[in-house]
């Protein structure tokens, strides 16, 4: 869930026009959820950021966001 400082940062950056954003709650459960997140990433030209895939949010770039 998106809340606290992450939500505030997302809202402020969106309002300032710094970045266009859309928060998405991943549908499904387990492996199906992972598959659906990958589908969303493909459609948005982004990447799934996951520790399981050895990707860290702190090291992600704007290109990873699609």
CATH number, domain of 29, equals 3.50.7.10
What is the rounded distance in angstroms from the CA atom of residue 39 to the CA atom of residue 57? 19
The pTM of the full predicted model, rounded to 2 decimals, is: 0.67
Residue-range definition of the domain harbouring residue 26: 4-65
Give 38 or 21, the one with higher predicted confidence.
38
The answer to whether residues 23 and 10 touch, using CB atoms and an 8 Å cutoff, is yes
Q: What is the pLDDT of residue 35?
A: 92
- Using one digit for the tens of pLDDT, what is the confidence trace for 31-49? 898 899 899 999 999 998 8
Q: How many domains does the chain have?
A: 1
């Amino acid at each position: 869930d998106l809340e606290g400082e992450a939500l505030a940062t997302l809202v402020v950056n969106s309002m300032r026009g710094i970045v266009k954003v859309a928060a998405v709650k991943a549908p499904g459960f387990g492996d199906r959820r992972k598959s659906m997140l990958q589908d969303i990433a493909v459609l948005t030209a982004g990447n799934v950021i996951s520790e399981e895939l050895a990707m860290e949010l702190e090291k992600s770039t704007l290109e990873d966001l699609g």
